[in-house]
Amino acid sequence: MVAPVYFVGTPDILLLMKKLIEEYNNLLSDKYDTATQGEFKWLAPVKLYEYIRPYIKNGAEVLDVGVGTGQTSKIFINKGLSVIGVDISEKMLAVAQSKLNFTKLIKYDVEQGLLNIFPQDKFDIVVAVGVLEFIKDIKKTLSEMRQLLKNGGIIAFTYEIYEPNNKYGIEKIAPLGAGSENVPELLNFMVYRRLPNEVDKILRDLSLGIINREKFIGYLRSQLKFPVLYEILVVS
Ligand SMILES: C[S@@+](CC[C@H](N)C(=O)[O-])C[C@H]1O[C@@H](n2cnc3c(N)ncnc32)[C@H](O)[C@@H]1O
């Protein structure tokens, strides 16, 4: 049996992984809505809506981090709010642009730092749905999201939960394609899973209070259709 080759963090390799994430999402972009709403049953944008609804106020400014095709932004835009979306994939952004009336869409790698592209205290709501599992240092990203909030603003985000001893053998940090056979090289970028108490500690360190939270099955992974556990949190 040949051992799997995992990427570890030299800067060149990190750059290559970024390229893979970008290319993977570019390729996925025109199938994303059909696949997520069909076979994968991606539930996170629906969950987000359930949790964020009480905080949607007229005139609120929203930032959608890892906006994808805009499934999460849609609820805000349909209510007439101003939404800015950020994504590493140009083609995901093109799909979002074709569907919805965004204030602005920015092609950007979130790990380069959100404070490089936005001023502090700008947004009433900052969301990150289905993206933090691709971000290595979520404390940094959550800290930046917090700094972008106006006083009294809220953050809503999801993360993929690490389940030790899960029966599918999914590791805490592993390439997206791990566990499946004949995986294309394009799926060789890392997914970072977290334990709830790790996320709780980050939130405590950042003085972010938890308003609401729920664990849910985010989607059904691969041909095996095994359930992937997520948590959604609303914090302020
Ligand atoms: C699973 S999709 C989720 C999209 C959308 N938020 C939703 O819930 O449907 C993840 C998105 O995050 C983007 N993404 C991944 N890593 C990123 C990064 N470092 N910076 C910006 N966007 C990133 C991908 O291109 C993709 O569009």
Ligand 1 close to Cβ of residue 44 (< 6 A): yes
Side chain identity at residue 124, one-letter code: D
Q: Using one digit for the tens of pLDDT, what is the confidence trace for 139-191?
A: 999 999 999 999 999 999 999 999 998 878 789 998 887 766 666 677 778 89
Indicate if ligand 1 lies below 6 Å from the C-beta of 75: no
Q: Are 217 and 44 in contact (CB under 8 A)?
A: no
The domain spans of the chain are 11-235
- Is the CB of 188 within 6 Å of ligand 1? no
Of 69-83, 127-141, 186-200, the range with the lowest mean pLDDT is 186-200
Per DSSP (E only), the strands in the chain are 61-65, 82-87, 104-107, 123-128, 149-160, 173-175, 190-192, 210-221, 226-235
For 122: left if phi > 0, alpha if psi spans -120 to 50, otherwise beta; the answer is alpha
The pLDDT value recorded for residue 180 is 67
In contact, 144 and 113? CB cutoff 8 Å: yes
Q: Which atom of ligand 1 is nearest to the CA of 64?
A: 6
User: Does the structural domain 11-235 have CATH classification 3.40.50.150?
Assistant: yes
Residue 132: CB within 6 Å of ligand 1? no
Q: Is the CB of 25 under 6 A from ligand 1?
A: yes
Cα 2 to middle of ligand 1, angstroms: 31
Q: What is the pTM of this model?
A: 0.92
* pLDDT at position 214 over 60: yes
Tell me the backbone φ, ψ of residue 51, rounded to 5 degrees.
-85, -25
Can you tell me whether residue 205 is helix, strand or coil?
helix
Residue 198 reports pLDDT greater than 80: yes
Sign of the Cα pseudo-torsion (52, 53, 55, 57, in order)? positive
Residues in CB range of 7: below 8 A, 6 or more apart: 13, 14, 16, 17, 175, 188, 189, 190
Centre of ligand 1 from the C-alpha of residue 42, in Å:
13
DSSP structure class, residue 161: B
- Measured in angstroms, how far is the CA atom of residue 130 from the centroid of ligand 1? 6
Q: What is the mean pLDDT of the chain?
A: 90
Cα–Cα distance between 25 and 137 in angstroms, integer? 20
**Closest ligand 1 atom number to CA of residue 48:** 8
Neighbour-count burial of 226, counting CB atoms closer than 10 A to its CB (0-12 exposed, 13-18 middle, 19+ buried): middle
Ligand 1 centroid distance, CA of 68 (Å):
5
pLDDT at position 168 is 80
**Ligand 1 atom nearest to CA at 36:** 9
